[in-house]
Amino acid sequence: MSFAAPHAAAGRAPSRVLGLLGHQIRYEQLSFWRNPQSAFFTFVFPVVVMAVFGALFGGIGKSGFYYGRSALQYYLSTIAAVSVLGSCYSQLAIVLATRRQNGILKRVRATPLSASVYFVGLLAHCVVVSVVDVLLITVVGGLYGVSLPAVSQWAALAVPVVLGAAAFCALGVAVASLIRNAEAAPSVVQLVLFPLVFISGTYMPIHSALLNGIAGALPVKPFNDALLRAFTTDQAGLPWREFGVLLLWGVAGAAVAVRRFRWDPRAE
């Protein structure tokens, strides 16, 4: 089924489109916060992980094993990255698969809300959740003595968070388009994510040139590296190579989503 909605947003007045977009973002936020258990663990899990890592590795200073950073400088970046992955890839894919099976997406399709507004609203919601997650993790890291990024690095931090969120949202929608039913969604999501997170050095630095070469062409390691640079250096400029990899994966995910996304449940 085509990804495009029957009511194209292009012909509408900008104020009308912005109004619909604002409504969709509010809807996603309300839906998120009306499930307090899910919201609680979305924010608490990465904070708890960061706190545990702080207790375990807080005494490890800068070393070559962590690429010249301290252990907590390294893990602050990678835990922030995995929290964005959870919000924008894992949860989004599962939510869309569940909404499709429950008939919610089919009802959305029948409304004047265009597909572009619907998915941009989802993206904006995921970016908001990701930013809050990163801020909370940064605060916990600060309690363990990890320095905050310099003001000159704020742009270098904001750009990868937003770009990474967009890329992983696109990949989440693409994976959701391949999931046949909601029950299979967590397994399919983790099948893709679990090995990718580990070979990308999220929980332990990888010093294998072969694995780093493979992981560098995949989306998670470039995201880790972009955040690590933003959190721990005062270098001018942006990591354009890492941004390019994220952009390419985002475009690839969007292409799969456009081609294969279904609004109605699949026949079993």
Give me the pLDDT at residue 183, please. Answer: 87
Q: Are 114 and 19 in contact (CB under 8 A)?
A: no
Sort 217 into a burial class: Cβ within 10 Å, 0-12 / 13-18 / 19+.
exposed
This prediction has a pTM of 0.87
Give me the pLDDT at residue 233, please. Answer: 73
Give me the pLDDT at residue 8, please. Answer: 45
Mean pLDDT by 10 residues, the chain (268 residues): 45 74 88 82 88 90 89 93 92 91 89 87 92 92 85 81 94 91 88 91 92 94 92 76 95 92 75
The alpha-helical segments, DSSP class H, found in the chain are 14-33, 36-57, 71-85, 91-101, 104-109, 115-143, 154-178, 185-199, 209-216, 220-232, 240-260
Give me the pLDDT at residue 210, please. Answer: 94
Give me the pLDDT at residue 137, please. Answer: 93
122, amino acid identity:
L
Strand partners, 69: 63
Give me the pLDDT at residue 85, please. Answer: 93
Please, which residues have CB within 8 angstroms of residue 261's CB and are 6 or more apart in sequence?
1, 3, 173, 176, 177
Residue 28 CB neighbour total at 10 angstroms? 20
